[in-house]
Structure 1
């Protein structure tokens, strides 16, 4: 479909992950432009899909794209960590058969220069929800050097975070992502496939949108819901996100929760919520990597509750 502006990553792996679900509800926590949602509706003809997004532009687009599926497709606006709780309460935990989350900024958001995600953007925004209070401009121009060092180190995993934070302080105020990119570019990694400013822009974007906090709260909501038979698929693009998902899935798979120093099990040894389906994350196949360079960082982990 040439009019679709976004190629969903790991599209085959996602369809396979939720194959065979014959009834109930699949929740697409990061609906975006409806790529994964439409594929799941086509592949699972009797399920209802509820998509969540905080970007009104994406909602407007996906409302039209998913219209042919009629009542089988529903859309809710908001942060997925909040909306997922409402959906589970309304639909009933026993009817939730799948939850998908593609943790990352969409291709169209990256390509729309007015959104401030692009290195060439004349704005400095990076908000996934354009109505949110915190923007990249507030972070870059308002944070202290110590706060900037923290987000660059923790979210960008940048070794020379102090040096880059100092350069940002020296050259601010910034009015565009392009200005910021030009200043931090000399301090970025060389000889790699990524743009030298990638990690800095990524760290600021994660801070602006509280992406790690959102993922943690989503996993908390799923854990608290105690879903009896659902498949959970999380796509991450960052090592911190992937680590968080891996650790949480490992926790959910453990039957014994006694402390390591315990001489014998006293917890009942019946605490496993299900099983890990993917011991190693699924990654893009060669043809997808060729067609969509943004898929190179994508990792899909799958967990099945009640298994």
Structure 2
């Protein structure tokens, strides 16, 4: 299996290593192991930890297992969606978990592979991270009602002209269905002008989130994570919707008082914070990193320290 033409460079590698550098032993869960970039660096830096990687993409799992073979039984990999699987690992390993990392974006390997349907030049409309998933991008674009398309473009793409976009897609597919990423992105480029980013960027983002239930999974992960003890929890997100969810969860977790805001005086004992926010502002890539790895441009890393 050769991926040498597009080596997977993890985003914000140094920031991730710094966050986890004091973990002497125990388990780090890499919720989106991808092509093993972060896990490789962490196993190298922290010689006494073990990593459990989760990924629903079979190609990614195979590749990371091969790449991390040198660490022998310090690395194990499980298949499935990270929200659900993390819950199971937490039940199983509990106290041993000292670090959690989730890098929730599409890898460059997935984007560059035209058969996966993630990119503007893809020769199909797929976008499934898990090939066993029955919902794909083609089903959404060619069968969702105008109203459903409006919903995903508005909620997941935060697209201003979401109504226009949905109705144009529906009237075009009546004449002929959309067959590829190339077809859809060319169509959107013809009808929408955006000088800052490719007009199809936000539409593709919205469809991908819907196909892979990305926000649902993140919500599930955050819910499970809220019960962690003495753990460093770090999430790298690539768009504002996810970043907002993470930021809000961290704010809730760090609250000491959980009384109703209208209560005259605190009655909860004011001792409810689960820990503290490590990153007051999200960590972002340096200019150098952005030049080397354009994917890092929109990456934001937030971290939380759960107390024991």
TM-score class, shorter-chain normalisation, is: over 0.9
1:245-256 mapped onto 2 (5 Å cutoff):
245-256=246-257
Determine the structure 1 residue equivalent to 2:186: 182
Aligned partner of 1:87 among 86, 89, 100: 89
How many Å separate the matches in 2 of 1:28 and 1:4? 22
2:84–2:217 contact (8 Å) kept in structure 1 = no
1:119–1:178 contact (8 Å) kept in structure 2 = yes
1:157-172 mapped onto 2 (5 Å cutoff):
157-172=158-173
How many Å separate the matches in 2 of 1:179 and 1:163? 18
What is the CA deviation profile of residues 123-177 of structure 1, one whole-angstrom value per residue up to 9, with x for unaligned ones?
Answer: 0000011110100011001100011011001111100011111110011111111
- Go from structure 1 to structure 2 and tell me whether the alpha carbon gap of 1:8 and 1:189 turns closer, same or farther (over 3 Å shift): farther
What is the CA deviation profile of residues 186-205 of structure 1, one whole-angstrom value per residue up to 9, with x for unaligned ones?
Answer: 3444221x222101111111
How many Å separate the matches in 1 of 2:182 and 2:242? 27
How many Å separate the matches in 1 of 2:5 and 2:53? 20
TM-score by length of 2: 0.96
How many Å separate the matches in 2 of 1:188 and 1:25? 48
* Corresponding position: 1:196 with 2:222: no
Name the SS for the 1:63 alignment partner. helix
Determine the structure 1 residue equivalent to 2:115: 114
Determine the structure 2 residue equivalent to 1:267: 268
How many Å separate the matches in 2 of 1:273 and 1:214? 22
Determine the structure 1 residue equivalent to 2:145: 144
How many Å separate the matches in 2 of 1:2 and 1:107? 13
* Corresponding position: 1:102 with 2:103: yes
Determine the structure 2 residue equivalent to 1:232: 233
1:51-66 mapped onto 2 (5 Å cutoff):
51-66=53-68
Cα offset for 1:3? 6.5
- Go from structure 1 to structure 2 and tell me whether the alpha carbon gap of 1:17 and 1:167 turns closer, same or farther (over 3 Å shift): same
- Go from structure 1 to structure 2 and tell me whether the alpha carbon gap of 1:280 and 1:121 turns closer, same or farther (over 3 Å shift): same
Cα offset for 1:4? 6.4
* Corresponding position: 1:210 with 2:213: yes
What is the CA deviation profile of residues 31-74 of structure 1, one whole-angstrom value per residue up to 9, with x for unaligned ones?
Answer: 00000010110111100000000001011111110111011111
Cα offset for 1:86? 1.4
1:167–1:183 contact (8 Å) kept in structure 2 = no
- Go from structure 1 to structure 2 and tell me whether the alpha carbon gap of 1:188 and 1:234 turns closer, same or farther (over 3 Å shift): farther
1:28–1:37 contact (8 Å) kept in structure 2 = yes
Structure 2: runs of 5 or more not aligned: none
Cα offset for 1:265? 0.8
Number of matched residues? 303
Name the SS for the 2:269 alignment partner. coil
Determine the structure 2 residue equivalent to 1:73: 75
Aligned partner of 1:219 among 218, 222, 231: 222
Determine the structure 2 residue equivalent to 1:8: 10
How many Å separate the matches in 2 of 1:55 and 1:188? 32
TM-score by length of 1: 0.96
